[in-house]
Structure 1
């Protein structure tokens, strides 16, 4: 097999240009999801000192194992005689998030290595375009699955870190503890990650250009090239 050779010429062709778009979408997809960090806050007061509110904070981020995100009271004080550290958010969405980010990284590397580093092999091989065609079809399906799963997980994350915390958190249901939802970090970047995920339908559109590179599109090319090579066609008996 030929060694890796950097070649940027494919980006000028439709097949390579769409791969550049997919490569870019992959970068934004795993960067916006994998780099997210946020926190949710509630205001807690102990009856009858209702006016003396303290902020209790739970920090979360990728890989979105919310059931490991414990609440922290200011300066470690046990507000209302509650050990807030033993209380956590609800839900584990790591499987959907990791599947989404891992697949985005795979697409990033696949587009970069195959279409930039091994263009010489792609042009000279009959099998590689066929393999690429199969991978493109499978990747299109898996992107739809992973993005849909991540979209659903993101909706649940917003619910688990939003106003429902006050109803779900056990100490907030105890007598003498008054809780009010404070705020949660905006998840605009996570919304962007979902948008870029669904932009991966470019994989489906790119399948046509990949298909044109395979022998399935023009199987007669092989026989034509042989006849032009000076090999006489067999005559009938």
Structure 2
């Protein structure tokens, strides 16, 4: 059996190895920021007043990215008056931070792929490209950790703020025993749960990608270059 060896590693690894691995963070970055940034949800409640004509049996509360303070109008069960209810908190900072990291990660990876494909020799020149790549990849791995953790906490707060049972307690008419309030429809949060999962997947992928980028630097004993096919007795396995 004959093997193709590269001088630096003993394996047939060239620039295509880290290039292929870089595809994964690119696509998962898209999934992360799109599932969060495109989200919109709704939940419904009903307020049945003692005087049925003052009731509202379908109060629809909509909320969406970036999850700033939302509000809705609820009946007071006093003639036709309404009261404005604000949902707890402004959760836009963690959501926007998470989406921003996802967008910049996608843009950087796209640029890196173009450099790998079209300017690989320039990338290897004087080892500057691999060193910059290593630093930026490390920064993005750390930012994915911070943004994913922050958004996981933010999502927990969003769920509490949009829990119909909790929101009902904020409606003045629902505090009176003669009126009957209940939830009609819970918000669907599966898309936001998925965005958090994709965030931590990106963390793992970018942290793992550090190894591939590190192998391109001089710290690993010189940048990897595709070696020629070498035939010799030392490359032939004994029978």
TM-score (norm 1): 0.77
Kept in 2: contact 1:37–1:62 (CA 8 A): yes
1:158 aligns to 2:156 (yes or no): no
The match for 1:137 is 138
The match for 1:169 is 171
Q: Displacement of 1:48 after TM fit?
A: 5.1
Rounded Cα–Cα distance in structure 2 between residues aligned with 1:220 and 1:204: 20
Listed as ranges, the matches of 1:1-237 within 5 Å are 13-47=16-50, 49=52, 54-65=57-68, 67=69, 69-72=70-73, 78=75, 80-81=77-78, 82-84=81-83, 86-117=84-115, 119=117, 120=119, 121-162=122-163, 163-174=165-176, 176-200=178-202, 201-218=204-221
Rounded Cα–Cα distance in structure 1 between residues aligned with 2:173 and 2:219: 65
Rounded Cα–Cα distance in structure 2 between residues aligned with 1:187 and 1:164: 16
Query: Can you give the 5+ residue segments of structure 1 that lack an aligned partner in the other structure?
Result: 1-11, 222-237
Ranges of 4+ aligned residues in structure 1 off by more than 3 Å: 168-171, 174-177
Rounded Cα–Cα distance in structure 2 between residues aligned with 1:214 and 1:80: 71
- Compared CA separation, residues 133 and 220, structure 1 to 2 (3 A): closer
Q: Displacement of 1:171 after TM fit?
A: 4.0
Give the total of aligned pairs.
204
The match for 2:6 is none
Rounded Cα–Cα distance in structure 1 between residues aligned with 2:89 and 2:31: 25
| Greater RCO (CA < 8 Å, at least 6 residues apart) | 2
1:190-236 CA distance string (max 9 Å, x none): 11111111101111111011001111111599xxxxxxxxxxxxxxx
TM-score (norm 2): 0.77
